Structure 1
Amino acid sequence: MVQTVKLMKNRLAMYGLVWVLAMVAMACSSDDGDDNAGSREVKFEVTGNFTGQLNAVLITASGGGTSESINALPWSKTITYESNVPTTQISIAGAGGDPGETITVKVIVGGKEKSSTPGTATNSGTIAVAAPSYAF
């Protein structure tokens, strides 16, 4: 059982990373021109009542991809991106929760919330949320 959960977690991470990298390649989101234009500090937040195992796939400060386990909610990660990184994104996937449990993924740039994306667990207890990409 434990090995099955690990295998599922690894598959979710791999699929998520491929999806994030594809979204970054096609990113068309842009800054809205507010007073935080030019900020390269991005905070990702995940909140909610999901009780299963969650995994985050995101773009690193240097533009690569990485996967990170989320062991408890709320969770957050702040990254200051290098000047050559044109865009960033995060996606969250999970399994083992109860149907109807929720998460919300927020992207905060320069101290201002840029997006808030909710997700709800399916009847099988899985959940997947991808926040919109953010272009610097």
Structure 2
Amino acid sequence: MTYKGASFLVLFWGIINLLISGVAYYYMGSFSQPVLVPGILAGVLSFGLGHFLNRAHTLAFILALVASFTFVFWLGWLTSQALTQEQNYIFPDALANPSRNVYFLVSSAMLTSTVLVLLLLGVFWKSIYLSLQNKM
């Protein structure tokens, strides 16, 4: 994979995060704020990193690795928080927030896409880095 392919991968990661954030806001409304913030931040950050990676900036590749690594931990923490919420299956509360399952689904989908991007960037780091050095 060259740096051009990596830039499109990072851009695709941003588009996926923004789409998932939009779905979360559509279904959950104001309850989606804990998932909305990392989704929009990852989307905007990946647009910038994808642009500079497409222009063959080595620092953009390093920052893309660091950003995806950071978002794996952040989204992993959010997913674990959504998973460990106590649910009362015997006596369900009619006034409880019905968006808990959507929250878990959205955070785990964002985590999955981020892990895949980190895995692909990590596997192909040498070829991406060498293609960046050949461009200079």
TM-score, scaled relative to structure 1: 0.32
**Higher RCO, Cα 8 Å, sep 6+:** 2
Return the index of the structure with the highest Cα Rg. Answer: 2
